[in-house]
Amino acid sequence: MPKLIFIEGVSGVGKSTTTQKLCDKLRGMGYSVDRYREFDFPNPIDFYSTAYFKKSEYDAVLVEYTGFAEDIKNNTVIADDIRLVRYYNQKTPLFSEPLLGKLREREFCWNPANLIPLSEYTRVYKSVWENFVQNTSNQLDYLIFDGSLIHHPINDMTRNYNATSEQSTCHLNTLIETVGSFHPQIIYLSSDNVAERLMKARISRNETPPSDEQIRFWENRKDMDLAVMRRLSIPYDIYDISQENWDSEIDVMMERIFETDVERQARIYPIILSEYNPAWLDWFVEEEAILTRLIGVDNIYRISHIGSTAIPGLTAKPTVDIILEVNETTDLDKLTAALSSPKYICLSGTGLTMPTPPPHMTFIKGYLSVGFDEKVYHIHVRYPNDNDTQDKLLFRDYLIAHPEAVTEYAELKHKLYKDYKHNRDGYTEAKSAFVRKIIKKTKI
C-alpha cells in the first residue's frame, strides 16, 4: 500500500520544486514513486479545465459530437453518476470549437459559469478520490501530490462558493477519509514574508510582479490554510523556508516521512514541565461545565480535578486530569457519542477503542495532529467510589496538605524529565513508586 504525501503552501513557496526533490530522493533510495506537480494533466485527483455533465447530458454530447466521441471518452473521468471531461492539457485545447465552447460552459472547478451546489461539488470530488484509491497500484511505495489537497481545492471553494474555513475543512476531511488506507500526511511550506516569496517566484517565471491586492490575498490564504490544517484528521508538519535552507529542510522531511506512528507521537507529544499555573483551575471549571452540558447532570455523580495541576505550587505537565464519575444507569454508548471526535478521543491503553469492561475509559482532549492545543485534558470515566478514584483523590489531598511532599515530587519530576522527555509511558512508570509511597501513607 503506497504512502500518500501532500506538498502544500501558498503560491511561490516552492511546492513543485519540493515535490520533485523528494521524488528524486526516494527513487534514488530504490523506492517506487509517482509524483504529480501543479497542473500535471494525468493527475488523478486534481482538476482544471474539466467539464461537469450528468450521465444523460454526457450521452447527448456523445451523440451530438459523434466525430469526437472517442476523444471525449478518452478524456472522461467517471464519478458515480457524473462524467467529468478534461478539455485542456495545460495550455493546449483538446477539442476544437464549437465543442470546446460547450465544455467551457460546463466547467467544474475554475470559475464555472453554472455553479453546482457545494454539497454536490464535494460528493463528486469524493467519488473521484474513491476511484483513485481503487485504481492505484499497491506496488507503489509513495505518491506525492503538489497542492492537490489544500492549495487548489481551497482556491476553487473560496472563489466559487466564498467558502468559510469550516466548510473547507469539512470538504477536505471528506476527501481525506477516502485515502485513509494510504496513511496520508501533509508537508506545508511556509515563509515569514509571503510578499518576498511571491516576488521571487514571479521573477523566476518571467511574470509580472504581484500587486498589493494579490499579496494580501495570499497572506490571508496562508492564515486560512493554517486554520484549516489544525482541524484536519491527518498529520502535518510546517517547514519554514524563509532562509531557503532547502537541503536541511528536505533532510528533515525525509526523516519524518520514514518515522513510525510511535516515533511521531513521541516527537509531537513530548513531556512538558511547567511551573504551577493558577489558570489550570479555571481550565478545570470550564471543562466541568462542558462535560455537564454534554452528558447531562442526571448522569453525573461527581466531577473531580486530580493530578498535579490540582495541587497548588506543584510543577506539572500542563494537562488537566479529570475524573468523571457517572451513575451506573448512564448509557455509556450515548456518553461516548457525546464525547466524540475531533475534540475528544477515546483511549484504551495506547489504542483508540473502548476497553472492556466499562466504564473504565479515558478521553483525551487537546491533542492536535501536529501537537498539543492550548488546553489539554485527560478525562477518566469511572463509576462512583472506584478504588482507583479513591487513590487518586487521596494522593491529591495529601500533597495539598504536605508542602514538603510537593517539593520532593517536583524534584523527582525534573530529574526524570532529562531521560523521559519523549517517553510518556516511561515517565509515568518512573514516578509510580513515589505515588504508591504517598498513597500508602494516606492509609496508615
Q: Helix or strand or coil: residue 77?
A: strand
The span from the CA of 421 to the CA of 27, in Å, is 34
**Domain 3-46+114-258 falls in which CATH fold?**
Rossmann fold (3.40.50)
Question: Comparing C-alpha atoms, which of 18, 19, 16, 13 is closest to residue 198?
Answer: 13
List Cβ neighbours of 389 (8 Å cut-off, separation of 6 or more). Answer: 304, 323, 325, 380, 382
- Sheet containing 236-240: order of strands: 33-36, 142-146, 3-8, 185-190, 236-240
Using the predicted structure, report yes or no on whether residue 351 has a pLDDT greater than 50.
no
Q: pLDDT (tens digit, 9 = 90+) per residue, 389-409? A: 999 999 999 999 999 999 999
Indicate the pLDDT class of residue 422, thresholds 50, 70 and 90: confident
Q: What is the dihedral of CA 255, 261, 267, 272, to 10 degrees?
A: 180
Question: Percent of the chain having pLDDT more than 90?
Answer: 79
Backbone torsions φ then ψ of 373, nearest 5 degrees: -80, 180
Q: Distance of CA 218 to CAs 105, 198, 225, 372, 393, Å? A: 28, 9, 10, 27, 52
pLDDT category, 280, cuts 50, 70, 90?
Answer: very high
Q: What is the Cβ-side half-sphere exposure of residue 300, based on CA atoms within 13 angstroms?
A: 17
Please provide the average confidence, as pLDDT, over all residues in the chain.
92
Please give the average per-residue pLDDT across 1-28, as a whole number: 95
> Going along 241-314, which residue ranges are E strands?
300-306
Cα–Cα distance, 256 to 263 (Å, whole number): 9
pTM attached to this predicted model: 0.81
Residues paired with 323 in a beta bridge: 304, 380
Q: Where are the domains of the chain?
A: 3-46+114-258, 49-108, 279-442
Yes or no: is domain 279-442 CATH 3.50.50.60?
no
